[in-house]
Chains A and B, each alone.
Chain A
Amino acid sequence: MLNKLALEKNKLLVIYKLCVDLLFIGTIFFAVSLLAESLIPGIVTSRVGFSKISFLVVLPLLLSSVLAGRLGISLAEEKINKKALVALVFLMIFTFFSSLFNLSIFLNLFILALALTCAYFIFKVVTENA
């Protein structure tokens, strides 16, 4: 009985690890699609809908968090990865700027600055509560 439970736990650990890999793949796919869409609108979504691409991120995210709860895995507190943060901020700035490209450059920069300020304060509030 104990052996069987251990076996099940080991298999769940494998599934958990695969879910994290799938989440990684989904995130990369989502980010690349977002970047491509902001450059040429419709290039991806005319073939694969964004709901399907979002599904690729949401499904492994939910599954891995459920499995983590069941297996008693908790996320170790890690320092913010500066490289990832820079890449994320760059992606955000680029998609924002690109989507507002038809506006006047000053209005575009103003909205971008406003969005970045909002994002910064939301980030501060979330991390402080944590």
Chain B
Amino acid sequence: MFDLTKNVKLNQEDIALYRRTQTGLYVLAFSAGLILLFLILFSSKKFVFSFLTPDSNKNDIIDPRDENNIFPDRGEIKTGNPLIFDTVATGRYSSAEIRLTVAKNSPKPENVSAKVRKSYQAFLYPEGDPIGFKDGTLLKNNGGYFIVSDGKIRKFANENTVLDLGFPRNAFRETSPEESGYNPEGEIIIQSKIDSSELIAPDYPDSSIFKIEETYYILKNGELTPFISEKAYLTQYDINQAIVKGRDFLRYYPISNNPLGFGDGTIISYGEAAFIVSGESILPIDNPETFVEKGYLWEEIIPVSGDEFSLYPKGKLQMLRSPHPDGIVYLTEESSKWYLVKEGKKHLLSSENIARSWLKKSPVTVSEKSLELKDACSFEKETLSFRTYSCRFPVDSLEVFRGKDYEFKLLGKSDTRLETLNVTFKKEVSRDNLKFALIDLYNKLRMNYAR
């Protein structure tokens, strides 16, 4: 054994004592190092929620609610009304344990069981009405020509009307009556009123798109709204669907002072930061891990200029625990169903044609099977506690589903009042888990250093 203080001499008896203690100290340090390594490789992840302090920052279980989306005040759970909550756990876990502590004077919970599913949080939203084509889409069917205007599908009276107005014929995409049935029917576009004196504005339907010099415009409520850039325009519409006009066309319509930006769900970057466009604002993405876990693709980031960036106010920070924002389009991998997220609901886009009118980039892939709730476990009272009930179940079978959001649904057969709720994800010590932990560390390392 080495001695770091050789010049400090001890007598024979103390040398033996020192050597023994020194060996013990190094063994202890080595063991502590091993335990830390074990904690890093086979880490567990704990989430908590206290119904006594529901506004505390320490609560990291997401959105405890009942079936009507109402927060259970003071943790009160009524018979037949399940408690639903979410957690976002990255990494590969073997099992999860849910622990409930009931309030002191609360009736004991009876026959409480848990169900679980794993996906992206917004994909677990309730399903809303199907949505049709996006405004401005040009469609043709059985020789008829249509434009989607103010959400309605409007038919051009005949081909000549289309040509007189200058719509490029090759921009009309073939559609079926079923597809176009998702937009209500609007008025027929009978005849363009192009005045020979060119003093009266031609009667273009709303959502017509024009290219005047290098700027793209969309007609909205009788105003020409410019796009901030061609880059922004191309995230919403196809290049060939704009009607090319000369500068004198601008005299017919007032020009809006609020230019349009990028399509919903577009990922833009400014400097080192990445943002997702959602409605009127851009949401900063907090780190590369969130970016990857949300299913976004690095190659689809669009670097933007200062002018394009300053068009938007910054919205809420997108973290791992945040759901995908409005405007994200999901595609199920099993049945190729498309969904658009909007105002807390996911809306079916019944065909790829409809989906492509909303989306000019790759969708976020999801598993349809991940929507199914699986029976997890039944709660039992813990031996050494009067008020704590727990249940444990394997989660490795859920690993195949994309997304890191675990949604739990607890249902009991009696009223009860909860004080705290804990969920702990655990990893078993196994060769597979070791392999995945090392791969995970490697990926994190790569994410930090890859440019």
A70-102 contacts to B (CB < 8 Å): 73, 76, 101-102
B7: chain A residues at CB < 8 Å are 76
Chain A residues lying within 8 Å of B39, measured Cβ to Cβ, are 47
A22 nearest in chain B by CB position: B25
Say whether A18 contacts B11, CB under 8 Å.
no
> Smallest distance from the beta carbon of A96 to chain B beta carbons, Å?
15
Q: Beyond A13-B10, A76-B7, is A18–B36 a contact (Cβ under 8 Å)?
A: no
Chain A residues within 8 Å of B384, by CB: none
Q: In the complex, identify which listed stretch (B13-21, B176-184, B353-361) lies at the interface while the others stay far away.
A: B13-21
Whether the pair A44, B36 counts as a contact (CB closer than 8 A) is: yes
With the chains together, A41 CA to B449 CA distance in Å?
12
Q: Is the CB of A47 within 8 A of B43?
A: yes
Q: Which chain A residue has the least Cβ–Cβ distance from B30?
A: A25
Q: Report B-chain residues with C-beta under 8 Å of the C-beta of A17.
A: 3-5, 8, 10, 18, 22
- Contact residues, A13-64 vs B (CB, 8 A): 13-14, 16-18, 20-22, 24-25, 29, 39-41, 43-44, 47-48
- Chain A proximity mask over B213-257: 1 for CB below 8 Å, otherwise 0: 000000000000000000000000000000000000000000000
B interface residues, tally (CB under 8 Å): 26
Q: Which residue of A lies closest to B29 (CB)?
A: A25
Contact call A18/B448, Cβ cutoff below 8 A: no
Give the complex CA separation of A118 and B213 in angstroms.
57
In the complex, whether B369 has a CB less than 8 A from a CB of chain A is no
The residues of A that contact B5 with a CB separation of less than 8 Å are: 16-17, 20
* B26 touching A21, Cβ below 8 Å: yes
Question: How distant is the Cα of A39 from the Cα of B4 in the complex, in angstroms?
Answer: 30
B272 neighbours in A (Cβ, 8 Å): 102
Does A117 have its Cβ within 8 Å of any Cβ on chain B?
no
Question: B29–A29 contact, CB under 8 A?
Answer: yes
| A124 proximal to B (CB < 8 A) | no
Known: A14-B14, A20-B5, A47-B36. A39 touches B445 (CB 8 A): yes
Chain B residues with Cβ below 8 Å from A13 are 8, 10, 14
Instruction: State the Cβ distance, A74 to closest chain B Cβ, in Å.
Output: 10
* Interface status of B40 (Cβ within 8 A of chain A): yes
Residue ID in chain A nearest B448 by CB atoms = A40
Chain A hits for B25, CB < 8 A:
18, 21-22, 25
Which of B14, B17, B22, B445 contacts A21 (CB under 8 A)? B22
B33 at the interface (CB under 8 A from A): yes
Would A10 and B445 count as touching, CB distance under 8 A? no
CB distance from B264 to the nearest CB of A (A): 28
Contacts of A47 in B (CB 8 A): 36, 39-40, 43
Q: Interface residues, chain B, CB within 8 Å of chain A?
A: 3-5, 7-8, 10-11, 14, 17-18, 21-22, 25-26, 29, 33, 36, 39-40, 43, 272, 441, 444-445, 448-449
What 12 additional pairs, Cβ within 8 angstroms, besides A14-B17, A25-B25?
A: A13-B10, A13-B14, A17-B3, A17-B4, A20-B5, A22-B25, A24-B4, A29-B29, A29-B33, A47-B39, A48-B36, A102-B272
A-B contacts, 23 listed (Cβ < 8 Å)? A10-B14, A11-B14, A14-B14, A14-B21, A16-B5, A16-B8, A17-B4, A17-B22, A18-B22, A20-B5, A21-B4, A21-B25, A22-B25, A24-B4, A25-B29, A29-B29, A39-B445, A40-B441, A40-B444, A41-B448, A43-B444, A76-B7, A101-B448
